[in-house]
Structure 1
Amino acid sequence: MNQRLRRLIGTGSAAACAIALLAGCANGPGAEEPGASRSPGTPRAPQTKAAPPGRFASADPGSVNTYWITAPDGLVVVDTLRTPADARKAIEAIRKTGTPVAAVLLTHAHPDHVGGAGAFHEAFPDAPLYASASTDRAMREDKRGFYPLARSANSAFPARITYADRTFQDGTPLQVAGLRFETATFDHGESDTATVYYRPDTGDLFAGDLATSKVTPALLEGNSCGWLQILDALGRRFPEARTTYPGHGLPGPATQLAAQQRDYLVRFRDLVRPAVAAGSPAGRTVAPGEQKTITTEMGRSYPGHPPVADLPTLVQENIKAVARELTAENPARLPAACSDKPREAALLPPVDAYVDAVNKGDLDALTGAFAADAEVVDVGRRIQGRAAIRAWAEKEVIGGRLTVLRVAETRPGHQRLLVQFAPGGTGGFGAFYAFTVEGASITKAELAYAP
């Protein structure tokens, strides 16, 4: 068993950490109720107001979500948790709705999302279990041997996997229980293959683990570059997605969760990359001091992000996996999503006007980018009103150079940028600029040093 794992993800403590990841922990109850794809230029599809999906989350650490969607012909369940015991807790919450389950959908083949499928089938024998052709194949082949590993580490994991009894071709629409879902399959990212389900009538996107919410992900498979490319493709495929329902963490605005996931992956790669550079202290190996620095910086940048598994050394093992990935990459052939070069930022118009005005030294245009009663919070110092903002900018901003490194977050009326600001035109420091926008004007700008 350990020999197989070492072939898959490396040697040393990585084997133990992968077993811990797959097994998870003893999970307790946690039921709670949370709050058409189109081509660019075509009219926005109407979105209806429907009851939000129900959600059950097993306990942290290693919490996993299952959702149930109210459909005309019953409930549609998405993913089945890690173990039958977890699934039975979710089933208890689902039964309280008084509505029968009409179907179960699987997003991907990882053990923590399919281990409870047998319990759902036992509880709702008339409800078909759906998976895309690629997910079904990944489950049946289990090329990485994840299911035996999960079973050996956690006796609660089922002795036999329950496979889908209904499959559909990757990327084809799915009509289930009176609802229409658009689907898309993405390979070589967080998992070898993953399927997302999108409701064009509500803008709900069930993305599995592709865009999680404020958790520490597992990067042990070493596909962070593929994951970044998938996040870009996901946004292009479903530009009208309103709310993402992730496999781990709370639901949230679709663009926000994707941006947060991208920010985490980019930040992680940016921190690991210099540690495996040819001139680093340990060469291609991450030295203990470098590992400590990376772990500290990630904790500072993403505080309160619980791990997706009961594994105290998850970040350290992620460092090893991404280090192996980065040393194998050819920087000259990297796709734009994975490059360490700054990406071209798609800025909201008032934000773009501000950046352009700073770099042109145009005080009038800079002031005009703000609403009359706008507020700037400059590292805790508040500047209120357009006249005060003009005086502040004339003294502290004009003459400087502002470079947008990346858009860290975008959602309606809000954009957060990672920038480099050089007050004298050269050198400078990293900062996060968060803008609140209404119409054609900035109503608030919050400036803070980057960690």
Structure 2
Amino acid sequence: MNGTVTILDKGAVRIHSYMSPADTFHTTTQLIETPARIIAIDAQLLPAYADEAIAYAKGLGKPIDRLIVTHAHPDHYNGAARFGVPVHALVQVREQIIARGDSHLPTGQVISLTDFTPSVAIIPGTEVIDGVPFVFEAVSGGEAADELLIKLPEQGVLIAQDLVYNDVHLYLGNNDITGWQQAVDALASESGYDTILAGHGLPTGPEVYADVRRYLEDARELLGDDGDAYKKAIVDKYPAHVGPFIIDIANRSLFPAGN
């Protein structure tokens, strides 16, 4: 296996957090194991890494019930077809995925829109799956225009995905630092959640909020009008963070003339 899996035992629920290697900036697929099934969350950029997560899930001996896509960035939905189950997403996330169209990988491979278009709409609220309450909330602004936040209140688990990164450089291509700061502040105000699942990086705790806030404050100060200068400055500021090439991807949107 090229990726790594972190297992968290939460009583009636076991969480298996599959993290891709650094070449796809430690993107996570969360496998939420309930008493009778597995709920998969996000599907990886490269189908090969989705296959690794699926192979691991099959080894648990329970069926994958569904795949939930939290937001409209290809590193979280490209591998959706590999799961072979219904793809769930917020209505607005589905619309944004459709608007992006086919996905083009750096290798030249094209993944058709039909392979990852969500087919089941998630309505914010609570759904009880195998006796486990899943709370679905829509969050607007930040790393993406719209994102799905999932809470497991009985387990004290908050599945934030790309609302937080853990020791990985942030993708700022949505150009909404203020919205992201507000989203993180809202998460930090939640009580009763001691486990935070990040969209990039290992599972963590509430201390991640201060880390993301600090990075966003530094990014705001350093951005300027030169993408190369910004990348050097933020990498120098956070030398231990992985995935510096995610900054290059974001800079194509932030500094289109110079990148």
TM-score by length of 2: 0.85
Matched, 1:102 2:65: yes
Partner of 2:93: 135
Task: Within 5 Å, give how 1:258-269 maps onto structure 2.
Answer: 258-269=209-220
RCO greater where, 1 or 2, for CA within 8 Å and sep 6 or more? 2
Task: State the alpha-carbon separation in 1 of the partners of residues 110 and 14 from structure 2.
Answer: 30
Task: Within 5 Å, give how 1:223-262 maps onto structure 2.
Answer: 223-236=176-189, 238-253=190-205, 255-262=206-213
Q: What is the Cα-based RMSD across aligned positions, in Å? A: 2.8
1:71 maps to which of 34, 58, 61: 34
Task: State the alpha-carbon separation in 1 of the partners of residues 158 and 250 from structure 2.
Answer: 31
Task: Within 5 Å, give how 1:21-420 maps onto structure 2.
Answer: 29-35=2-8, 49-50=11-12, 52-62=14-24, 63-121=26-84, 125=85, 128-140=86-98, 142=99, 145=100, 147-148=101-102, 150-151=103-104, 153-159=106-112, 160-169=114-123, 171-236=124-189, 238-253=190-205, 255-272=206-223, 275=224, 285-286=225-226, 291=229, 295-307=231-243, 311=245, 314=248, 317=251, 321=254
Deviations 1:365-386, CA, capped at 9 Å, x for gaps: xxxxxxxxxxxxxxxxxxxxxx
Deviations 1:193-241, CA, capped at 9 Å, x for gaps: 10010000111111121111000112122111111111112233x3222
- Stretches of structure 2 that go unaligned for 5 or more consecutive residues are none
Q: SS in structure 1 opposite 2:89?
A: strand
Deviations 1:8-44, CA, capped at 9 Å, x for gaps: xxxxxxxxxxxxxxxxxxxx72132344xxxxxxxxx
Counting strand residues as a fraction of each chain, which structure ranks higher?
Answer: 2
1:84 Cα shift?
A: 2.6
Describe the shift of the 1:232–1:151 C-alpha distance in structure 2 as closer, same or farther (beyond 3 A). same
Asked whether the 8 Å contact 1:61–1:306 carries over to 2, the reply is no
2:96 alignment partner AA: A
Q: SS in structure 2 opposite 1:230?
A: helix
1:265 Cα shift?
A: 0.5
Q: SS in structure 2 opposite 1:226?
A: helix
- Stretches of structure 1 that go unaligned for 5 or more consecutive residues are 1-27, 36-47, 276-284, 325-451
Asked whether the 8 Å contact 1:213–1:250 carries over to 2, the reply is yes
TM-score by length of 1: 0.51
Q: Percent identity?
A: 23
Describe the shift of the 1:188–1:312 C-alpha distance in structure 2 as closer, same or farther (beyond 3 A). closer
1:286 Cα shift?
A: 4.4
1:287 Cα shift?
A: 9.7
- Bigger Rg over Cα: 1
Task: State the alpha-carbon separation in 1 of the partners of residues 94 and 162 from structure 2.
Answer: 17
Asked whether the 8 Å contact 1:82–1:157 carries over to 2, the reply is no
